[in-house]
Amino acid sequence: MELNVIVIVIIYVIILLALIFSGMPIMFALGILGMGSVYLALGPSMAPALGAVAWEGLTSYSISAIPLFVFMGYILFGTGLSASIYAGVYPLLDRLVPGGLLHSNIVVGAAFAACSGSSLASCATIGSVALPEMEARGYDRGIAAGSVAAGSTLGILIPPSITLIIYGLLAEESIGKLFIGGIIPGLILASAYMVYIWTRLLVQPGLVGKSGNIQPKQSWRFCLRSLGRVWPVLILIVGVLGSIYTGVATPTEAAAIGCSLAFILAASYRLLNWETMKKAVEGTVVTSSMILCIYLSGKLMMVFLGSAGITRSVARLVIGLQMDPVLVFIGIVIMYLILGMLMDALTMMITTVPIILPVIISLGFDTLWFGVILTMLCECALITPPVGFNLFILQGLRPNYPFMQIVKGCMPFFGVLLVVIAIMIAFPNLILFLPQTMIG
């Protein structure tokens, strides 16, 4: 039985990768594999099952938070409120530390993460503003691109996070607690990135341009006045995360609060118009439809894996090996690092969680803790070739940057991310502490 299970899983992965690398859109590849699997498990009676799975999965109250958070992000990006964050943060950091633009990329990435759960949107927005400025000042292209890519990865870890919502739905884990659990790791990761930049510039100060390219620092008064542009983000953070942490609102209700606040802030700055609203609605429909289609395909695969007994068999197989749970978990981490080089983060999560989660539970690991660790592993997938999406976004923004130069610039930040993941694994309370103190 165990051999059959291994063969089925291997065939499953091979077919999925073959469909993806053939050029088929991910959501269709997952959908075909999911429906085919359900047909093998249930036969002609699959039609009612498909309808039931689709209805149950897509009418969930929790899943409605996804289009709401996506819409909030589009409002902020479309009105330019998100871009103003960069202008607010940079002058102060430029005065305080060498390579202020590099540090700004990390800080603004964390701020964008608190506004929208999309790393790709953050990468495109930060990159379009920061890369031309850093290039004009003579910054090294590698560390410039790496800081943008690394700062953008925070978008799926610091809440609100679409990735954490999807994991919560698949694992039937509290989305609110997952959100709060991602705060400390996100702040530690952002700090670790900045420490790396600071240390690297101590050794190689020439990475931030020659002395002739260094512009005079702004006055303290100007820096503090510019910092005032960040207050809309602080309002959103308090409104969304504060309402979840205190038990005032569920994640879905907090998403509605975030949308309302974003709308009010944009209107108060007179940045709203019909064209902006049209683009925000269109972008929300397209993005949310893609995410929900991928999620539905994952639900179909869960039906097959559960009805065929594969998830239970895999868990029994791992337990039967009688290996140290820590060694098994290290093996799972390595597997995700490899998969992150072959598929995007969301696909990787949806296709593996139904199989891996029973193993995690049987080994005695906390599923909330694992959800945050898995999200950090998904961050790795964003900056590792050949399928790292952030790498391609940066290449699109600056076609004159050689792709391998972008990759080499990201690799040190990838190493920092691995170190922080190891710390989170060694000290799980860094993830679990805040969720345990939540009200409600």
In terms of DSSP H, where are the helices of 204-344?
220-227, 231-237, 243-245, 251-268, 274-307, 310-320, 325-339
**Percent of the chain residues topping a pLDDT of 90:** 20
Domain extent at residue 60:
2-436
pLDDT at site 211: 47
The pLDDT value recorded for residue 35 is 77
- Judge whether residue 413 has pLDDT over 70: yes
Average the pLDDT over each of 215-229, 267-281, 337-351 and give the range with the smallest value.
215-229
Q: Who wins on pLDDT, 185 or 30?
A: 185
Residue 79 pLDDT exceeds 90: no
How much helix, strand and coil, in percent to the nearest 5, is found in the chain? Answer: 80, 0, 20
Structural domain count of the chain: 1
Q: Are 166 and 347 in contact (CB under 8 A)?
A: no
pLDDT category at 147 given cuts 50, 70, 90 is very high
Give the C-alpha distances (Å, rounded to integers) separating 325 from 5, 329, 334, 389.
21, 6, 14, 32
Amino acid at 436: Q
Which long-range contacts link 251-256 to residues 24+ away (Cβ below 8 Å)?
Answer: 251/62, 251/65, 251/160, 251/165, 251/175, 251/176, 251/179, 252/61, 252/62, 252/64, 252/65, 252/68, 254/65, 254/160, 254/176, 255/64, 255/65, 255/68, 255/69, 255/72, 255/160, 256/68
Amino acid 44: pLDDT: 67
Q: Mean pLDDT over residues 117-140, rounded?
A: 80
pLDDT of 387 reads 72
Task: Decide: 156 and 162 in contact? Cβ < 8 Å.
Answer: yes
Q: What is the pLDDT of residues 206-216, one digit of tens each?
A: 888 764 445 66
- Retrieve residue 381's tokens: 């997938």
The CA distances from residue 180 to 68, 112, 119, 409, in Å, are 18, 17, 18, 31
pLDDT, tens digit, for every residue of 340-393? 887 778 878 887 888 888 889 988 999 999 999 999 999 898 898 877 888 888
pLDDT for the residue 212: 41
pLDDT at 305 over 90: no
pTM for the model: 0.85
pLDDT, residue 117, reads 63
